[in-house]
């Protein structure tokens, strides 16, 4: 693994620890695909720094536990927007 990749993986890992952002949010920040971010933090980080890997995995678990809540909130906002548009027309 090249030094540039290692450096990128460390940046991503420290960023996710600092901000607790999701993979999608990280992919926008680092201008990389979601798959690349996932591979960096799931596979590459494990071989680079096991302690840091375990910390990042805790954040992934936190995201998994709360994703149903975020999905529900998104759906609620979607239907509130639709209701607002309908009420403006009527």
DSSP 32-89: --HHHHHHIIIIIHHHH-HHHHHHHHHHHHHHHHHHHHHHHHHHHHHHHHHHHHHHHH
| Global model pTM greater than 0.85 | no
What is the rounded average pLDDT of the residues 76-88? 76
Q: What is the mean pLDDT of the chain?
A: 89
d(CA 60, CA 72): 19
Residue % of the chain over a pLDDT of 90: 68
Q: Say how far apart CA 37 and CA 62 lie, in whole Å.
A: 17
The model's pLDDT over 45-67, given as tens digits with 9 standing for 90+, comes to 999 999 999 999 999 999 888 76
Instruction: Work out the average pLDDT over 22-38.
Output: 95
Note the Cα 65 to chain centre separation in Å.
Answer: 13
Indicate whether 42 pLDDT > 90: yes
Residue among 17, 12, 4 at smallest CA distance from 28 = 12
DSSP 22: -
């Amino acid at each position: 693994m090249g030094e540039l990749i290692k450096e990128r993986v460390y940046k991503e890992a420290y960023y996710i620890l600092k901000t607790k952002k999701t993979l999608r949010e990280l992919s926008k920040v680092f201008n990389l695909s979601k798959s690349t971010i996932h591979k960096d933090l799931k596979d590459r980080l494990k071989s680079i720094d096991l302690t840091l890997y375990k910390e990042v995995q805790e954040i992934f678990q936190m995201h998994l536990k709360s994703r149903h809540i975020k999905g529900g909130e998104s759906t609620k906002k979607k239907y509130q927007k639709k209701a607002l548009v309908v009420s403006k027309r009527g």
